[in-house]
Amino acid sequence: MEHGLNCWKCGASLEKLTLPLSRRDECASCRAELHVCRMCMEYDTAVAKHCREPTAEEVSDKQHANFCDYFRPRPKAWTPPASAADQARAELERLFGKQ
């Protein structure tokens, strides 16, 4: 069964892994831990503690495995890094507004 998950760190396909992900699962390509906040459906940098689940305990390290019971893997956890030019343009637009 396809689940469409990719590694949050390198973007490699995780199709060979079965769900639910265990706390010890790692990406075969980059060895990143996968039961992490950055890979969770509830992860959101726009809210307090970067978690939309109000009753979840705060996890200080969002990139290392944790024991959160609310963990649900997020299919679009990986976003490709922006180029230096894209980052500079975004910063200028943030400072001066988009024209």
Segment 10-62, tens digit of pLDDT: 888 898 888 888 899 999 989 999 999 999 999 998 998 999 999 999 999 99
* CB burial readout 76-98, b (16+ within 10 A) else e: ebbeeeeeeeeeeeeeeeeeeee
Closest of 66, 64, 83, 79 to residue 8, by C-alpha:
79
pLDDT of residue 99: 56
- Whole-number Cα distances in Å, 99 to 23, 88, 91, 96: 46, 15, 14, 8
Its domain, for residue 27, covers: 1-99
43: β partners: 51
pLDDT of residue 98: 67
Closest of 40, 4, 10, 3 to residue 28, by C-alpha:
10
